[in-house]
Amino acid sequence: MCAIVIISRNRRVGRIGGWGDQILERTNVRVVNMNQMVWMDDTTFINNVRMDRRAFRKLSDMLHIHGGLRPSKNMKMDEMIASFLHVLAHHAKNRVVARQLAHSGESVSRNFNAVLHAVLHLYSILFKKPEPIPEKCTDERWKWFKMTLDPQENSPLFDNSGAQELDGEHIRYVETSDAWSDWRDKLVEEMYGQWRAFRH
């Protein structure tokens, strides 16, 4: 009976906190750590997540609208995205981020995977689909890439009939000066001959 009275008096005085006090204290630690890690100033923000606040806001909106990201029970969306970017930017371990943000390793891992899943949903928005170069391309930028698959067959990968030819003397090969280069060249010729024989 005396122990119950002492514990209840200590709680009133504030010496021993209950579960509610510990949860409130942990929440305050999370808010303070998040503010120090991200929201303090622009330099800190860029150092920790490798993007400025405007880009972070745009990414956050895109992940929410198009990626389907929602805040979890234990983390806000900004905290989830900031911890995700912090892990990518600094190759931080799960337990390090969990200690910094005062969360369990499981919740950090689960939220990392949720943000990653939302980012993968943005693939069609963020990545431009490449357009193939047509075979009869006459664009000036591609004339320098005229090449052949097999120099002996002299069959170009694509015909660049509209491109201008270079005038002047062309260097066909440079003579090797040491034994290592000679051996390497012979090995390449032998391997190329075997490949060509296998191909035909």
Tell me how far apart the alpha carbons of residues 31 and 102 are, in angstroms, rounded to a whole number: 9
Domain ranges across the chain: 2-126
Is 118's pLDDT higher than 90? yes
Is 5's pLDDT higher than 50? no
pLDDT digits (tens, 9 = 90+) for 81-106: 988 998 998 888 888 888 877 788 88
Question: What pLDDT does 182 receive?
Answer: 80
Mean pLDDT rounded to a whole number for the chain: 76
Tell me how far apart the alpha carbons of residues 124 and 194 are, in angstroms, rounded to a whole number: 43
**Range among 115-129, 142-156, 158-172 rated most confident:** 115-129
pTM of the model: 0.54
- Looking at residue 39, the DSSP 8-state letter turns out to be I
Is 75's pLDDT higher than 70? yes
Nearest Cα residue to 196 out of 156, 158, 149: 149
Q: Under DSSP, is residue 148 helix (H, G, I), strand (E, B) or coil?
A: strand
pLDDT digits (tens, 9 = 90+) for 172-188: 666 656 777 788 888 89
Element holding 188 (H helix, E strand): helix 179-199
Nearest Cα residue to 108 out of 72, 145, 55, 61: 72
Tell me how far apart the alpha carbons of residues 37 and 48 are, in angstroms, rounded to a whole number: 7
Tell me how far apart the alpha carbons of residues 98 and 95 are, in angstroms, rounded to a whole number: 5
CB count within 10 Å of CB 105 equals 14
Q: Which residues contact 98 (CB under 8 A, 6 or more apart)?
A: 104, 105, 107, 108
pLDDT digits (tens, 9 = 90+) for 18-58: 555 666 666 767 676 676 676 677 888 888 888 888 999 99
Average pLDDT value for residue range 109-117: 93
Which of residues 56 and 165 earns the better pLDDT score? 56
Average pLDDT value for residue range 3-22: 53
Yes or no: say if 100 and 49 are a contact pair by the CB < 8 Å rule: no
Tokens standing for 158?
């694509």
Nearest Cα residue to 73 out of 107, 99, 50, 39: 107
Average pLDDT value for residue range 124-144: 77
Q: How confident is the model at residue 164 (pLDDT cuts 50, 70, 90)?
A: low
